Amino acid sequence: MKALRKLVDKIKPNFQEGGKLSMFHSVFDGFETFLFVPSKTSTSGTHIHDAVDSKRMMSMVVIALVPALLFGMFNVGYQHFLATGQLVATYWNPQTAQFWNIFLYGVALVLPKVIVSYVVGLGIEFTVAQWKKEEIHEGFLVSGILIPLIVPVDLPLWMLAVATAFSVIFAKEVFGGTGMNIFNVALVARAFLFFAYPTKMSGDEVWVGTNEVFGLGGGQLVDSFSGATPLGQTAVATGKEFVIHNVAGATTSWWDMFVGLIPGSIGETSVIAIALGAILLLVTRVASWKTMLSVFLGGAITAFLFNTFGAESNTMAHLPWYYHLVLGGFCFGAVFMATDPVTSARTEKGKWIFGFLIGAMAIVIRVLNPGYPEGMMLAILLMNIFAPLIDYFFVQANISKRLKRTTKSINA
Amino acid sequence: MKSLFSAKNKEVIVGPLSLNNPITVQVLGICSALAVTAKLEPAIVMGMSVTIIVAISNVIISLLRNTIPTRIRIIVQLVVVATLVTVVSQFLKAFAYDVSVQLSVYVGLIITNCILMGRLEAFAMSNRPWESFLDGLGNGFGYALILVIVAFFRELLGSGSLLGFHVIPASVYESGYVNNGLMVMPPMALIILAIIIWAHRTKVKQLQDN
């Protein structure tokens, strides 16, 4: 650690005003504050300073996302080998070659997406920081890994790059950078992709990698192959009774969906992996348990109401509520997107309403609009707009309550 | 002849193109700018229609300006504009039917275009016919210019064509390029308009707020 500090101090003059590399000043500053907590203190006014600055907070979210990322990689490979009928019984055993084939296939497809997202996003952040002569905002650390996790595996890299650039510029930088954005940056990227390139973001063709990648995988697809996600299948089904199939045509159980061995966006499938991340976020108090819990409550209650009163012909309405909660991006959105401290409600009571409406709205969109079998993205973006309004009412209510109390005590 | 193109008159016609642009600076007529710019052709026709209507109605109102009672001037302006809009709309239906179908209600809605009422109220009511004519032309061109720029990018990126001709070669599509579906939808018109305003204000120092 000391050696690193010495190295940083040694190269520091190069990056300061007038130094040889002063054009990379903001880049250096970004890395220095990433490695060491800055020693700067405020010189005016009264400040409460927390030991955990936003860089440390962001790193925590990134660590929380690692289980979902690793499982996502494994699942990408798993779906591929299942679709080509090459899966052997011991695929889950890390001692076997099959396990590593599966995992490496996923790595080969997912890692480029992560790299593209970071290079494009951080490139824009660094440029803007240098241009405005500011420090680099750390916000993209999280967005950069969220974006690849919420897209289908078949998405071309250039589309990912375009969407990342769009959302960093128009959802974040034009509003003033990290902490000033109205909408969740990663979800704006996804919404952009969803509306700009619908053929690559929805349907039956994009959720499973079917081609050979760097000599990994490949092979003939089984005859019964269908790449539709469970939610996609439910959206097009009719009638009350309905069985969900996996990519090879066999029945999918609730347990499969819970574990996450189903087609879907890369990081969203496994409830277990997301739960591991959620525990870390809750223990470190980075995310609010109120928001998280209320999203699940809202979703469960709304889905339960549809189960009880929904129209006979609407299969999605009769998908049991405990299926709704584990399918699609519901868990991922609830844990990593709804709890985004920048775009969610900040008042403690407001968090309950904010979260509850996200859950409720996601299920309403799923059930009532067959065009959008996944409602989580639109629900969170919609509630992002309402978050300031919710906060406003709670703050105003508190002000008027206190005002009443004071006037009462004066009168008495 | 010299006074017809004096420096002041030149300013009247050139100003709306940049410094006083009806869309990017005065932020008028946004609705139609968003609605008809998915393709280049309707945008050009729309720009021409608005230019003709603003110019002619400006002249008519300017000729009548001393006889119009102040209290009913809006009604008089509306009658003039409505007449011209109907003429243009019928003309398009007769000679450019396909485009008029694409423009649908937006030709009729020129009557509610804020640029028209704005120019009639702010300029034609207090200036002579020739200046009013130039002002109408200038504002019409300023409006058309922005429409064409927005439509150029929307059609190129959204449909891969310009004026209906495919300009992006098939080989690009074969290598994986896909048209951007969002460009055809109205939200993207708003964002492109915002980019134009952004670029415009960055370039022209007078427009920047302190």
| Nearest Cα to Cα of residue A342 among A167, A168, A183 | A183
What is the reported pLDDT for A230? 82
- Does residue B182 sit at the A interface (CB-CB below 8 Å)? yes
Residue B17 tokens read as: 């193109």
- Is residue A242 one of the residues assigned to a domain? no
Substitution target from A183, A195, A211 for chain B, most B beta carbons within 10 A = A195
Neighbours of A282 (CB within 10 A): 17
Reported ipTM exceeds the 0.95 cut: no
Nearest CA in chain A to B183: A196
A145 and A31 share one domain: yes
Partners of residue A198 in chain B, C-beta under 8 Å = 181
Measured between alpha carbons, how far is A346 from A326 in angstroms, rounded to an integer?
27
A192 and A83 share one domain: yes
What is the reported pLDDT for B210? 62
Partners of residue A156 in chain B, C-beta under 8 Å = 176, 178
From the list A156, A192, A199, the residue facing B182 with the nearest CB is: A192
- Is residue A352 one of the residues assigned to a domain? yes
Positions of chain A with pLDDT lower than 50, given as ranges: none
| Nearest Cα to Cα of residue B203 among B12, B25, B22, B14 | B25
- Does residue B183 sit at the A interface (CB-CB below 8 Å)? yes
Measured between alpha carbons, how far is B31 from B39 in angstroms, rounded to an integer?
15
- Is residue A4 one of the residues assigned to a domain? no
Q: Which residue shows structure tokens 């299926």?
A: A323
User: In angstroms, what separates the C-alpha of A192 from chain B's closest C-alpha?
Assistant: 7
- Is residue A131 one of the residues assigned to a domain? yes
A209 and A336 share one domain: no
Are B77 and B120 contacting, i.e. CB atoms less than 8 angstroms apart?
A: yes
**Cβ separation of B178 and A170 shorter than 8 Å?**
no
Partners of residue B176 in chain A, C-beta under 8 Å = 156, 158
**Cβ separation of B176 and A200 shorter than 8 Å?**
no
Instruction: Give the pTM.
Output: 0.86
Nearest CA in chain A to B184: A196
Between A340 and B24, name the one with better pLDDT.
Answer: A340
Its domain, for residue A361, covers 287-412
Residue finishing a domain among A166, A185, A215 = A215
- Does residue B156 sit at the A interface (CB-CB below 8 Å)? no
Partners of residue B178 in chain A, C-beta under 8 Å = 156, 159, 197, 199-200
**Cβ separation of A196 and B176 shorter than 8 Å?**
no
Q: Is pLDDT of B6 > 80?
A: no
The DSSP element (H or E) to which A125 belongs, if any, is helix A97-131
A-B interface: how many C-beta pairs under 8 angstroms? 20
Substitution target from B157, B172, B180, B197 for chain A, most A beta carbons within 10 A = B180
pLDDT in tens, B46-100: 888 889 998 999 999 989 888 888 888 888 888 999 999 999 889 888 988 888 8
**Cβ separation of B178 and A192 shorter than 8 Å?**
no
User: In angstroms, what separates the C-alpha of A80 from chain B's closest C-alpha?
Assistant: 22
A300 and A388 share one domain: yes
- Is residue A2 one of the residues assigned to a domain? no
Partners of residue A197 in chain B, C-beta under 8 Å = 178, 180-181
- Does residue B63 sit at the A interface (CB-CB below 8 Å)? no
Residue A286, CB half-sphere, CA atoms under 13 Å: how many?
A: 25
User: In angstroms, what separates the C-alpha of B174 from chain A's closest C-alpha?
Assistant: 13
Residue finishing a domain among A215, A239, A262 = A215
What is the reported pLDDT for A21? 67
What is the reported pLDDT for A399? 93
**Cβ separation of B180 and A197 shorter than 8 Å?**
yes
Are A302 and A348 contacting, i.e. CB atoms less than 8 angstroms apart?
A: no
pLDDT in tens, B148-207: 999 999 998 888 888 878 888 888 888 778 888 888 888 888 889 889 888 888 888 777
Nearest CA in chain A to B181: A196
What is the reported pLDDT for B1? 47
- Is residue A231 one of the residues assigned to a domain? no
**Cβ separation of B178 and A200 shorter than 8 Å?**
yes
Q: Please report the sign of the dihedral spanned by the C-alpha atoms of residue A90, residue A96, residue A102, residue A107.
A: positive
Measured between alpha carbons, how far is B43 from B163 in angstroms, rounded to an integer?
10
From the list A156, A170, A197, the residue facing B181 with the nearest CB is: A197
| Nearest Cα to Cα of residue A247 among A219, A218, A221, A267 | A221
Nearest CA in chain B to A170: B191
Measured between alpha carbons, how far is B38 from B198 in angstroms, rounded to an integer?
21
Residue finishing a domain among A215, A239, A271 = A215
Residue B89 tokens read as: 């709309």
- Is residue A156 one of the residues assigned to a domain? yes
**DSSP annotation string for A376-403:** HHHHHHHHHHHHHHHHHHHHHHHHHHHH
- Is residue A264 one of the residues assigned to a domain? no
A191 and A304 share one domain: no
Total structural domains within chain A: 2
- Does residue B175 sit at the A interface (CB-CB below 8 Å)? no
A199 and A291 share one domain: no
User: Residue B38 — very low, low, confident or very high, per pLDDT cuts 50/70/90?
Assistant: confident
A389 and A300 share one domain: yes
**Cβ separation of A196 and B183 shorter than 8 Å?**
yes
A30 and A171 share one domain: yes
